[in-house]
Amino acid sequence: MAVESGKDGKVLIGGTPVADITRWEFHKSAGVRKYASSSTAGFRKAVAGVKDGQGTIEFKWDAAAASPLVEGSGVTLLLYTNASEFFSVPAVIDNFRLSVDIDSGDISAVTAGFETNGAWTEPTLS
């Protein structure tokens, strides 16, 4: 079993790198629904429902460059787990957050949230 370090992780839109990424998260769900019926013997059963996903991307701010992560924009995110494996995720940028440390003047964090927009592709195991 190979364990990933994440050091080669990156985010691309198409073939273009998205800023200087410091962290990304991708949360997937299957919308599980539970039910009970005359055939479940007093127990609830579960069935997978519609798949959904959302996540966040944290990156360093570059005031000289326009961010491709603009709220409301449709993108295809390539979320790399290592140098060659990635999720391909059609998404809509939902929100954009900028945090500033008033004391130092540093922009401490820039975060963009996204929601999936259709089916995504899982990484291919090599």
Alpha carbon distance 47, 59 (integer Å)? 37
Kindly report, residue by residue over 27-39, the tens digit of the pLDDT.
999 999 999 999 9
Alpha carbon distance 115, 112 (integer Å)? 10
With 0.85 as the threshold, say if the pTM is over it.
no
Instruction: Say how far residue 64 (Cα) sits from the centre of its chain.
Output: 25
Output the pLDDT for position 47: 95
Kindly report, residue by residue over 32-76, the tens digit of the pLDDT.
999 999 999 999 999 999 999 999 998 887 777 777 788 999 988
Alpha carbon distance 34, 66 (integer Å)? 45
Domains of the chain: 11-116 (2.40.30)
Residue 120 φ/ψ, nearest 5 degrees: -110, 165
Q: What is the mean pLDDT of the chain?
A: 86
Output the pLDDT for position 111: 92
- Enter the tokens of residue 8: 């080669």
Q: From the CB of residue 10, how many other CB atoms can be counted at a distance below 10 Å?
A: 16
- Enter the tokens of residue 122: 């899982």
